[in-house]
Amino acid sequence: MDLGEGLRMAIARLTNATIIDSKTIKEFNKALQKTLLSADVEVQLVFSLTKTIEEKALKSKPPKGLPQRDYITNIVYEELVKLMGGSYTPELKPKRIILAGLYGSGKTTTAAKLAKFYQDRGFSAGLICCDVSRPAAYEQLETLAKQANVAFFGIKGESDAAKIAKEGVKSLSSKKVIICDTSGRSALDSGLVSELVRVSKAFNPDEKILVISADMGQTASKQASEFDKAIGISGIILTKTDGSAKGGGALSAASAAHANVMFLGTGEKIGDLHPYDSAKFIGNLLGVPDIEALSKTVEKAIAEAGIKPEEMESEELNFETFYSQLKAMGKMGSLKSVFGMMGAPDVPKEMLEKGEDKLKLYHTIISSMTKAERQNERLLHEPGRIQRIARGSGTSEKDVREMISEFNKMKKIFNTFKNDRSFRKKFAKFM
Binding site residues, ligand GDP, CB under 6 A: 101, 103-109, 184, 239-240, 242-243, 265-268, 272
> In the complex with ligand GDP, which residue's Cβ is closer, 242 or 292?
242
Nearer to ligand GDP, 4 or 343 (CB): 4
In the complex with ligand GDP, the residue whose CB is nearer, 70 or 277, is 277
CB of 162 to ligand GDP, least distance (A): 19
Cα–Cα distance for residue pair 383/385, rounded to 1 Å:
6
Minimum CB–partner distance for residue 99 and ligand GDP (Å) = 8
- Specify whether the CB–CB gap between 34 and 7 falls below 8 A: no
Q: How many CA atoms lie within 13 A of 63 on its CB side?
A: 2
Residue 243, binding choice from ligand GDP, Mg ion, none, Cβ under 5 to 8 Å by partner class = ligand GDP
242 or 290: whose CB is closer to ligand GDP?
Answer: 242
How many angstroms separate the CA atoms of 303 and 296, rounded?
Answer: 11
Judged by beta carbon, residue 104 or residue 394, the one nearer ligand GDP is 104
> Any idea how long the chain is?
431
Q: Does the footprint of Mg ion cover residue 213 (CB under 5 A)? A: no
Degrees (nearest 5) of the Cα angle 104, 106, 107?
105
Q: Which residues of 326-347 are buried (b: 16+ CB within 10 A; e: fewer)?
A: bbbbbbbeebeebbbbbbbeeb
Q: 213 has which bridge partners? A: 239
- Give whichever of 107 and 426 is closer to ligand GDP, judged by the CB atom: 107
How far CA 240 is from CA of 109, 148, 188, 264, 273, in Å, comes to 11, 19, 20, 8, 10
Q: Which is nearer to Mg ion, 96 or 107 (CB)?
A: 107
Q: Give kind and range of the element (H or E) at residue 374.
A: helix 371-375
Q: Please identify, among the stretches 21-29, 104-112, 268-276, 297-305, the one whose residues bind Mg ion according to the rule CB under 5 A.
A: 104-112
The Cβ of residue 170 has, within 10 Å, a number of other Cβ atoms equal to 9
Question: How near is the Cβ of 265 to ligand GDP at its closest, in Å?
Answer: 3
Select from ligand GDP, Mg ion, none the partner in contact with residue 330, using the beta carbon and a kind-dependent cut-off of 5 to 8 Å.
Answer: none
- Residue 239 interaction partner, one of ligand GDP, Mg ion, none, beta carbon < 5-8 Å per kind: ligand GDP
Stretch near Mg ion under the rule CB under 5 A, chosen from 103-111, 215-223, 237-245, 375-383: 103-111
Minimum CB–partner distance for residue 196 and Mg ion (Å): 14
Cβ-contact 213, 239 below 8 angstroms: yes
Q: According to CB under 5 A, which one of 35, 50, 108, 266 is a site residue for Mg ion?
A: 108
Give the start-end residues of each E strand in 41-153: 95-100, 125-130, 151-153
Give contact residues for Mg ion (rule: CB under 5 A): 107-108
